[in-house]
């Protein structure tokens, strides 16, 4: 198909407009990611304080007696995306969740999901979702979501009494290499390895801790703090990695648009040069035609005098 300068100009303008949109979306992803990164760092400090309180409780009251009985109900909370343009973010996590749950997850698991597109990705894997929540629109929304999920887990625990509850979380998190990856962790009952690490860790001060209040109430508050911090961190990490995935896709799109712009610009330059050359040749041909002497028309005879 032969291109014209007008069509190439329209194509260049369209590509420039697309590049501006892609660049804007990449910038928005960077800006949106910053508050969630700060929230993730802040909750780490809070979680460290909660774990220090749990260590003080263990130091004063001895090791916890964890029940060896299998739980009657298993719950998993999956943190995904509610927006697009982030590649296979939800699909990759849904595949990892299916591998973790096994071939027939509906018979043994109750799924809570954060993100409408994550719910669709789980449904494509044959995993039924009991409840879907929208992703937080801001860092303040993470607090509300974590509290809501903690309340739902508490309601499920009451419904499953007298047997204990097993809860896990699945989300994407940042890794040291800068790439995001799936993470699936046990949330409840509390990890015995974590309890053992806290029991073996020495107290950092010479002043021995003296927890105040009834032990059952204090332990319950510490476990609720641990649960809240874990849910908050999972939601914040999911939002950070979602924006990072979207930014990476926008960077790829921006490079693709730049490459296409270079091709169209080169094509426009070549076509313009061809048209200029053709016009110059026409001028030269016309000039040469004017320079040639006119020959008399011998077919016309002179009239007799």
Each residue's pLDDT expressed in tens, for the chain with a length of 305 residues: 467 888 888 889 999 999 899 888 888 888 888 999 899 999 999 999 999 988 888 888 777 766 656 656 889 999 998 887 788 899 999 999 999 988 777 667 899 999 999 999 999 999 999 999 999 988 899 999 999 999 999 999 888 877 788 899 999 988 776 567 899 999 988 888 888 888 888 777 777 777 777 888 888 899 999 999 999 999 999 999 998 888 888 988 999 999 999 999 988 888 888 888 888 888 888 877 777 666 666 555 555 54
Helix (H, G, I), strand (E, B) or coil at 70: coil
Listed in sequence order, the residues at least 6 apart from 196 whose beta carbon sits closer than 8 Å to its beta carbon are none
Q: Show the domains of the chain with their CATH numbers.
A: 23-63+73-202+211-253 (3.40.1380.10)
What lies within 8 Å, CB to CB, of 175 at 6+ separation is 181
DSSP 204: S
Distances (CA, A) of 101 to 43, 70, 80, 111, 160: 28, 16, 17, 10, 20
Q: Strand 73-79 relative to strand 165-174: parallel, antiparallel, unpaired?
A: parallel
- Give the integer Cα–Cα distance in Å for 25 and 305: 91
> Residue 25 and residue 219: Cα distance in Å, rounded?
45
Question: Cα separation of 183 and 178, whole Å?
Answer: 15
Contact status, residue 74 vs residue 111, Cβ threshold 8 Å = no
For 228-239, b/e burial (b = at least 16 CB within 10 A) is bbbbbbbbbbbb
* CA 4 – CA 271 distance, rounded (Å): 8
């Amino acid at each position: 198909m032969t291109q014209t300068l007008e069509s190439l100009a329209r194509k260049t303008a369209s590509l420039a407009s697309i590049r501006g949109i892609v660049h804007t979306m990449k910038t928005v992803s960077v800006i949106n990611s910053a508050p969630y990164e700060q929230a993730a760092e802040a909750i780490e400090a809070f979680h460290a304080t909660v774990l220090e309180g749990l260590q003080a409780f263990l130091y004063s009251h001895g090791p916890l007696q964890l029940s060896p009985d299998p739980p009657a109900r298993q719950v998993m909370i999956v943190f995904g995306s509610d927006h697009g343009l982030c590649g296979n973010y939800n699909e990759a996590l849904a595949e990892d969740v299916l591998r973790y749950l096994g071939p027939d997850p509906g018979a043994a698991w109750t799924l809570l999901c954060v993100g409408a597109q994550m719910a669709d990705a789980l449904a494509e894997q044959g995993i039924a979702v009991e409840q879907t929540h929208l992703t937080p629109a801001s860092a303040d929304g993470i607090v509300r979501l974590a509290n809501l999920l903690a309340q739902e887990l508490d309601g499920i625990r009451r419904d499953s009494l007298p047997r204990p509850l097993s809860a896990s979380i699945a989300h994407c998190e940042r890794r040291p290499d800068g790439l995001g990856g799936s993470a699936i962790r046990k949330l409840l009952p509390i990890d015995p390895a974590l309890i053992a690490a806290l029991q073996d860790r020495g107290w950092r001060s010479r002043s021995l801790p003296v927890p105040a209040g009834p032990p059952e109430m204090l332990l319950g508050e510490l476990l609720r703090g641990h649960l809240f911090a874990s849910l908050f961190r999972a939601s914040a990490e999911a939002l950070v990695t979602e924006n990072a995935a979207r930014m990476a896709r926008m960077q790829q799109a921006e490079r693709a648009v730049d490459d296409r712009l270079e091709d169209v610009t080169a094509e426009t330059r070549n076509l313009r040069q061809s048209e200029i050359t053709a016009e110059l040749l026409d001028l030269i041909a016309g000039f040469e035609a004017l320079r040639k002497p006119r020959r008399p028309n011998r077919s016309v005879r002179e009239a007799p005098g």
